[in-house]
């Protein structure tokens, strides 16, 4: 297990869709251990594998004192009810922008033993599930912002680089 360095924009791994995990081996077990250890830090809600430079479909979360992980997650349900709120990202440090997300989300994936797992939640947990699944698809929360807000965020981000 190791606390891993977070990749930040413009690292191309953040824009690359992640590969499905087809075999759970020592590399995948080590990845999960690293994801769990790296997310277990104050102010961190979730962490996708590509944020630590690994192009595999896995993420961890740390919401309301619950830490977990899921392999090969797929969003299977989103509520029609929406939430607005500021969202940030470890890979886009220092920027927080209002991002519209579903109030409820449910993902299905597997654990290290190949068992199907369902992870669901409302509010912050739903936001986390959507945000981390976006990462695995090569998408950042900035991509979900309204055009004018996204332009402002990109200018602010470039000024920080």
Say if CB 34 and CB 52 are below 8 A apart: yes
132 tagged catalytic: yes
3-state class (DSSP) for residue 44: coil
Measured torsion, CA atoms of residues 100, 103, 109, 111, in degrees rounded to the nearest 10? 110
The single residue of 5, 20, 77, 132 carrying the catalytic annotation is 132
Q: What is the rounded distance in angstroms from the CA atom of residue 106 to the CA atom of residue 120?
A: 4
Say if CB 33 and CB 1 are below 8 A apart: yes
> Would you name the residues annotated as active-site residues?
132
């Amino acid at each position: 297990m190791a606390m891993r360095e977070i990749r930040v924009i413009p690292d191309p791994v953040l824009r690359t869709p992640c590969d499905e995990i087809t075999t759970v081996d020592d590399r995948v077990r080590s990845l999960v251990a690293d994801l769990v250890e790296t997310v277990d830090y104050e102010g961190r809600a979730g962490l996708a594998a590509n944020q630590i430079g690994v192009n595999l479909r896995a993420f961890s979360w740390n919401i309301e004192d619950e830490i977990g992980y899921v392999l090969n997650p797929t969003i299977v349900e989103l509520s029609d009810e929406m939430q607005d709120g500021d969202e940030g990202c470890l890979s886009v440090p220092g920027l927080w922008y209002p991002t519209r997300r579903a109030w409820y989300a449910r993902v299905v994936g597997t654990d290290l033993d190949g068992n199907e797992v369902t992870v669901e939640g409302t509010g912050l947990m739903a936001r986390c599930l959507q945000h981390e699944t976006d990462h695995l698809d090569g998408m950042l929360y900035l991509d979900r912002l309204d055009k004018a807000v996204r332009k402002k965020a990109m200018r602010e981000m470039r000024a920080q680089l």
